Amino acid sequence: DVKVTQSSRYLVKRTGEKVFLECVQDMDHENMFWYRQDPGLGLRLIYFSYDVKMKEKGDIPEGYSVSREKKERFSLILESASTNQTSMYLCASSFREGGRTDTQYFGPGTRLTVL
Amino acid sequence: AQRVTQPEKLLSVFKGAPVELKCNYSYSGSPELFWYVQYSRQRLQLLLRHISRESIKGFTADLNKGETSFHLKKPFAQEEDSAMYYCALITDKLIFGTGTRLQVFP
């Protein structure tokens, strides 16, 4: 079974803090993704990565950055957390097939609250 | 533009009633589509993908290229089907719809 783990299930931070969300997958997937999930807005892609040290902006990258130093690990960084970044954050991974993503496997999510 | 539209935010039915969750897409290439499901307090997981043409938990979905649709159907809803359902289109990433919450009442 594919396993995608996220470092925290719940996180509470203060405005202006730097926040790190970690994601690890154990299936040697090339692709990794960070989404945020908000009611009525569905899943919105923040950043994704095809390979180590590679990153691509998604639909809503503002206020976020990412790091992929190892194939199995993909970190999402909030440089200076703001209250509008309060959300559920989902990590996913997949193989890459013919230039497209294959089935994505999701982590359990991190519910971040910024006060 | 590449887009997935799920027009219903909430769909409520009684147990045993048929269910159809609507999904329309916009894509210039050959589409490949998924349905993902998220049960309460569980992670998002794949329900089915159109290329496998299989039925999972009694759900089926047929790709209609003429109507650019990939609606999810089940003839007899069960209470355990209550969940959030997302339609998604494959490109170099997954493009998700905004989701439909299905509530099945006893």
Question: pLDDT (tens digit, 9 = 90+) per residue, A60-73?
Answer: 999 999 999 999 99
Q: Which residues of A55-69 are buried (b: 16+ CB within 10 A; e: fewer)?
A: beebeeeeebebbbe
Q: What is the pLDDT of residue A1?
A: 67
Cβ atoms within 10 Å of A82's Cβ, excluding its own: 12
B47 pLDDT higher than 90:
yes
Q: Which one of A42, A99, A100 has the shortest CB-CB distance to B86?
A: A42
The Cα A89–Cα A76 span in angstroms is 9
* Nearest alpha-carbon partner for A6 in A32, A43, A39: A32
* Nearest alpha-carbon partner for B60 in B50, B70, B69, B73: B73
Q: Under an 8 A CB cutoff, do A108 and B98 touch?
A: no
The answer to whether the CB of A85 falls within 8 A of the CB of A63 is yes
What residues in chain A have per-residue pLDDT under 70?
Answer: 1-2, 98-99, 101
Q: Under an 8 A CB cutoff, do A101 and B46 touch?
A: no
* pLDDT single digits (tens) B48-82: 988 777 788 999 998 998 999 999 999 999 999 99
Q: Which one of B43, B46, B49 has the shortest CB-CB distance to A107?
A: B43
Q: Under an 8 A CB cutoff, do A42 and B90 touch?
A: no
Q: What is the pLDDT of residue A99?
A: 67
* Nearest alpha-carbon partner for B32 in B103, B94, B102, B105: B94
* pLDDT single digits (tens) B20-44: 999 999 998 888 899 999 999 999 9
Q: Under an 8 A CB cutoff, do B92 and A40 touch?
A: no
- Strand B72-74: give its sheet, edge to edge: B19-21, B72-74, B60-61
